[in-house]
């Protein structure tokens, strides 16, 4: 399965549309087209980001492969908006609603030919959410507490990826999100499929190809 590095949109300017577009152009010039689109509602996590899907249409228009990560309480509300867009993946936090509600949401997303799955906090029980792991196309494993960029990678987060793989299917895409840089990516390169990095990559755009080579 192809290894993919996703740039977290949190690294770009959320307040100035022109600045955002200028920064995105710099990313595209460095062959970065896989974008991790973080949506926060200041309820599930104590922060707000891209709550009104700012610049999402522009990302899609520019040919970016968008993976939406919902850190919100009302998951269904945001899913209803996202399934009308050409996003590639949608993951949402399993802790935000019941397992039954989550199953229904995953099925809704898949009906729109979008890959679906859950995001899971560092201390959440994997066993509790095994039924969701089994039906997910993609799991976003948090290697920091969700809500803010620039945090330090939580030690041994890569072990959770191995545990998740034991509970799921061979085609599962497992994504590691939080504190990923040129050192921590080495810890999980053999276990994860997608790697989310924000400020580290944005501040070192010219090193993108070098970072990809670390996954070989």
Per-residue pLDDT tens over the stretch 137-184:
999 999 999 877 778 999 999 999 999 999 999 899 999 999 999 999
84 vs 79, 108, 115, 130, CA distance in Å? 9, 12, 14, 29
Percentage above 90 pLDDT, the chain: 94
Q: Is 191 a catalytic residue?
A: no
pLDDT band at 6 (very low <50, low <70, confident <90, very high): very high
Q: Taking the model in full, what pTM does it have?
A: 0.96
Which of 34, 41, 137, 177 is catalytic? The answer is 177
Q: Is 137 a catalytic residue?
A: no
Which of 34, 38, 41, 191 is catalytic? The answer is 38
Segment holding 79, helix H or strand E: helix 75-82
Q: What is the pLDDT of residue 1?
A: 86
C-alpha–C-alpha distance, residues 64 and 86, integer Å: 10
Q: Helices then strands (H, E): number in the chain? A: 9, 9
Q: Which residues pair with 70 in a beta bridge?
A: 39, 92
Domains in the chain, start-ordered, CATH in brackets? Answer: 4-214 (3.20.20.70)
């Amino acid at each position: 399965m192809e290894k993919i590095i996703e740039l977290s949109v949190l690294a770009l300017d959320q307040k100035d549309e022109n600045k955002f577009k200028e920064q995105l152009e710099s990313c595209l010039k460095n062959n970065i087209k896989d974008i991790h689109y973080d949506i926060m509602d200041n309820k599930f996590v104590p922060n707000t980001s891209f709550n009104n899907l700012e610049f999402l249409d522009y990302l899609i228009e520019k040919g970016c492969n968008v993976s939406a990560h919902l850190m919100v309480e009302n998951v269904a509300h945001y899913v209803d908006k996202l399934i009308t867009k050409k996003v590639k993946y949608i993951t949402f936090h399993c802790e935000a609603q019941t397992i039954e509600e989550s199953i229904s949401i995953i099925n809704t997303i898949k009906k729109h030919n979008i890959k679906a799955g859950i995001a899971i906090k560092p201390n959440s029980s994997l066993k509790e959410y095994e039924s969701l792991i089994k039906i997910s196309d993609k799991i976003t494993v948090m290697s920091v507490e969700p809500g803010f960029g620039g945090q330090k990678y939580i030690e041994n987060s890569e072990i959770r990826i191995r545990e998740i793989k034991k509970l799921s299917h061979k085609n599962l895409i497992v994504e590691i999100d939080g504190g990923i840089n040129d050192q921590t990516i080495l810890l999980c390169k053999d276990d994860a499929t997608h790697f989310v990095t924000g400020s580290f990559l944005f501040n070192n755009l010219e090193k993108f190809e070098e970072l990809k080579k670390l996954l070989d």
